Amino acid sequence: MLAAMMMWVSGTSLLAHEETYKGTVIATQTAKVQVSVIDDKTKKESSMEFAVTAKTKVLRGDKVVVFADAHIQKGERIAVTVDHDASMSNAVVIRLAAPAGR
């Protein structure tokens, strides 16, 4: 019984409720990115703002970069993953296209 209980407790801590939002960049600030996303169900466009923290992983192509060095541009395609169990607005991972010519 104790072993089953331990497996259940450890298993739930490994499950994160992550969701990825895909869209285009509206604006960036020092620690935020505003994204225009389209809801998969309603097909309506809306604006979402995500906080960038020290824990946010930013990928430009396959390369991990610092948020400030990512040089994110308005209108650029972006994918932002959040963990609903932690915070709806904190970006866990930001994915951007590789630089042109690479």
State pLDDT tens for residues 31-71.
999 999 988 888 899 999 999 999 999 999 999 999 999 99
Nearest CA among 49, 80, 48, 20 for reference residue 70:
80
Q: Is the pLDDT of residue 13 over 80?
A: no
Selected residue with higher pLDDT from 54 and 5:
54
pLDDT at 39: 83
Which domains can be identified in the chain, with CATH numbers? 17-96 (2.40.50.320)
Q: Are strands 18-29 and 77-83 parallel, antiparallel or unpaired?
A: antiparallel
Q: Is the pLDDT of residue 100 over 60?
A: yes
In the block, tokens 């395609």 appear at 77
